[in-house]
Structure 1
Amino acid sequence: MAGSSLRSEPPSTRRREMPRDAVRAGNLLIMADLNDPVRLAELRGAVLRADADAILDACVVRAAKLARSPIAVVSLLVRHVQLLRAQHGLPLELAVSCATSRSNSFCQLVVLDEVPLIVDDALRDERVPKELVESYGIRAYAGVPVRAHGHVLGALCVLDVVPRRFDQRIVGALEQLAIDVSGRLSALSLSDAPLASADVQERLVRVEQATRALERALLALSPVIAAAQAATAGPRVDAARGIDASHAPRATHVTPASLRAAVSCWRDMSPVAEELCEEAAAIASASPCEAASGLATEARALARNLAEIGPLVRLAEGVLDGTLGEAAAAKGRALVLRGALDAHEAASAAVQKLRAGALRARAATAGPRSGGAAPPGAA
């Protein structure tokens, strides 16, 4: 890639035109492309898991060594948060939560422009948000796009705590590593292909059952979110962050036992959501009706929202098991609370849509049965 394509020029020498579908938040340009449903559809299943992946972990270690940088990350830009799918050298609370707010990320600019981004001094560079600079002393950044099936999902990036220049040799090496990262993300995405053919009506019954279980689980997660909100922000800070407290779970006294139960509940939700996505994809593949195809879209949205709640849950778990002190956990909560609140609300809405969609799909795909028998589970 020619040096002229690198986003390393200071804002005073390189202007960006604002598209019609863009909005500006402070000094940061936010474009609707980040929420492109086709791009978001690739962020599913194994791609979003927080468990370690040997290939991705090896790539970030290699990136840090090549750049002689203390920190390297594979980031994925979801709707509300930036998920850190693999990392090397992050502060403990970020390593536990595996996320920051999407609006705080440098990598969003890589996704928007689909080219490398070079930041020599983040403190002076008006293109990037300053939260990570102020909280963690991040001063220099180099990030390159990572893709799955042609869509930019995030970035492979290296960061430093001192101002510095990442030269073309380093950027070229990162781009080569990004090929391996992209290949792995594509493989993880393909691992969530639809299951083998089965009776559509039976699958729809299982979708309904899964939505009821997930609805109860989301309700059980409320103590984690309420406790985080109470610990992180009072009403005055809520307003400053744009958090509408009227839509958040009511903060009450939360015992460690209830927090542990909520953490366990969230962990149980993940495989249920993955199975629901598989069922919905198989239904959409087997049935051409609009209601059936909509199920797959809503199921993927639900799975993404659950993944975006995960960072807050992992921080709570870190406090409970002693991995994190309260001060470190508070720094982590400040970065992910808004995203978790939005994702919790969106997940609850997605569950309702899934259940309604399953009922419509059952009616649309029922067809005549011998002897007038009712569809499975209709009683």
Structure 2
Amino acid sequence: MDFDLSEEQSILKDSLDRLLGDTYGFEDRKRYMASAEGWSPQLWSQYTEMGLLALPFAEEDGGLGGTAVETAIVMESLGKALALEPYFTTAILGGAFLRYGGNDDQRARYIPAVAEGALKLAFAQVERNSRFDLHHVETTARKDGSGYVLNGQKSVVLHGDCADKLFVTARTAGDVRDENGIGVFLVDATAQGVTVRGYRTQDGLRAAEVTFDNVAVGAEAVFGDAENGLPLVRRVVDTGIAALAAESIGVMSAMHALTVDYLKVRKQFGVAIGQFQVLQHAAVDMFVAIEQARSISLYATMMADSDDATERTRAIHAAKAEIGRGGKIVGENAIQLHGGVGMTMEYAVGHYFKRMTMLNIAHGDADYHLRALAAMGGLLAA
């Protein structure tokens, strides 16, 4: 199988790497983080001009017809730069809801706005007691005429404080942990009864606690089946995890590059510490972990658009488990080989490790996905 990038894909990668290389230095990122938005609106406009926000959508819907491969290219580049913009929540998660759950009217209304950079989206799914279980939903959606009234609270809504609209999971029927009776609703972030409290996360991104107090939405806010929306949610999350796997490769590669450069310049006993064999072995362990993670990430990318939910989910579980394991190896070795400077706020490698740690937790950590994969009988069915 040919894994080489096409000419168009190579141009996309080179263009984005060049843009981020010019605009996302360590001090630049600190400045973006300290701004009112917590990210760069100027870069958001440049992403729009490059077509990144239109990339995942079909041409007939106003997009560029990109596949999971193009998404992975973008996410890996954003990972290397430790980018802060809400691309993942808007184009990947929000875009997947629009692509897989939106009807003709919903796609026509929202996709052009996303592609133009005018509409930012977020996914409000996590609850205080849900941990990683997508079917644990306490937020309720009570039928009211042709619409619904939402009540509940969502936690750690990534980029929820800058989103114009929120995709919200809410229970229309059943008990808290029933797999049926879950609906997906698109809610205006400024609607009456919506309260958003934003904050900075450990890796420098933004998130929010969101409360819904008798929030009324119309029938047009429902995406997919209001009584059986869990399959849609699972497909969207699978798409998101495949994208995060690619971002993880970018983060791990950057940590490895920083560490190898440090081994070449840091001297002890009159020689560069990279000449010590035990440190060379640690750097090789990092490289091997990255290549193993890259392989499973490619597999997850290939399976991300699959309609076979079972095989797609196997691939996603395997990717999340392996990348979580590899990310820990790379991050711990990067900090160890840098010594004390690796723990400082003034040096980039520690920030990469923070991001890698948060990527491991996002949508289920390595242990969670390994258990889920084992329950399915492993990556390859017997």
Q: So what's the TM-score if we normalise by structure 2?
A: 0.31
Structure with the largest fraction of helix: 1
Choose between structure 1 and 2 for higher RCO, CA contacts under 8 A separated by at least 6 residues: 1
Q: So what's the TM-score if we normalise by structure 1?
A: 0.31
